[in-house]
Amino acid sequence: MKLRNLIVSLVLLASAQGVRAQDDLLSMLDSMEVKTKEYTYATFKIVRLVTGHSIEIPGAGEMQLLISHRFGRLNGGPYEFFGLDQANMRLGFEYSLDNRLCVGVGRSNIRKTYDGFLKYKLLRQAKGKNASPVTVAWVSSIQANALKWTEPDRPNFYSSRLSYAHQLLIARKFNDRISLQLMPTMVHRNLVSSVADQNDVYAMGIGGRFKLTGSVTLNAEYYYVLPGYTADNFEDCLSLCFDIETGGHVFQLIFSNSPAMTENMFIAETDGAWQRGDIHFGFNLSRAFMVSEKHRERALSHK
């Protein structure tokens, strides 16, 4: 009897040790799977899809210079040199503190507008256990109209110059050729042209890229403004561009029915129509500079 009890005890002990070893092995495999999670890169080529933001941000410790031009309307004909006689410009700088947070500032000559924004990646598309199927980023921006007051003798408030925009960017890279992005957006303007106009404008943006060659992609971007007074008096912004990668920088050739380059104007106040030929040719030129190796090394160590 004692021998049988001893044998049973040894069998039970061996079984327990086997279960424990199996659990340890599964735990090690789970740990390895987490460590081998593969993040998606280069959903889009640069920080702009066309005129609006993409989910991309500069690398950690990297400063990106963005020069944007929009010329006049192509239907101006030869007299206006098909729009090239007029030019609107925005000069912007964007800096990434890490692989998730980006700070940007800019200045455009339309209404002498200064703008700034924060962009933060909430989720990153990846493959592996508990991986996100999409990349999600949040953008909050502010725009300030710096034109002189039209009626300087009456009381004027600085807050009247300000507009704001908030966007949730949801993007997925399906393969090396196709990426799509959704952009639910709210624009708030402190001062509008009439009491009937909307201070808050809501829009749904959609855009994407299709890779044509190793260095050229076709991008499209469309913002549908939800029904309201603003939607009745303005057009939805539709923009197309070709991204051309040329080594150190990316060059975007753009066609859009809006000459503006800040959200308060190209989303809420576009008055050109493609069907009338109100198309503005332009370009974005981006160039990246490494500013802080320390931020880059810190971001890589916490990746």
Same domain, 174 and 224: yes
Same domain, 32 and 53: no
Same domain, 51 and 28: no
Alpha carbon distance 231, 257 (integer Å): 15
Same domain, 148 and 296: yes
**What is the reported pLDDT for 156?**
87
Alpha carbon distance 80, 71 (integer Å): 10
Same domain, 23 and 138: no
Q: What share of the chain is helix, strand, coil (3-state, %, to 5)?
A: 25, 45, 30
DSSP state of 40: -
If one counts every other C-beta atom within 10 angstroms of the C-beta of residue 44, the result is 23
Same domain, 166 and 99: yes
**What is the reported pLDDT for 35?**
57
Same domain, 5 and 120: no
Is residue 119 within 8 A of residue 129, CB to CB? The reply is no
- Domain count along the chain: 2
Q: Are strands 113-123 and 126-127 parallel, antiparallel or unpaired?
A: unpaired
Same domain, 171 and 149: yes
**What is the reported pLDDT for 255?**
97
Per run of 10 residues, the mean pLDDT along the chain (length 303 residues) is 50 49 52 67 93 94 93 90 90 92 96 97 91 96 94 88 97 96 97 84 96 94 89 89 86 96 94 94 90 59 50
CATH number, domain containing residue 76: 2.40.160.40
**Which residue range(s) make up the domain with 2?**
1-36
Same domain, 82 and 206: yes
Alpha carbon distance 140, 263 (integer Å): 10
Same domain, 31 and 165: no
**pTM of the predicted structure, to 2 decimals:** 0.83
Same domain, 5 and 49: no
Element (H, E) at 14: helix 2-35
Same domain, 87 and 202: yes
**What is the reported pLDDT for 29?**
46
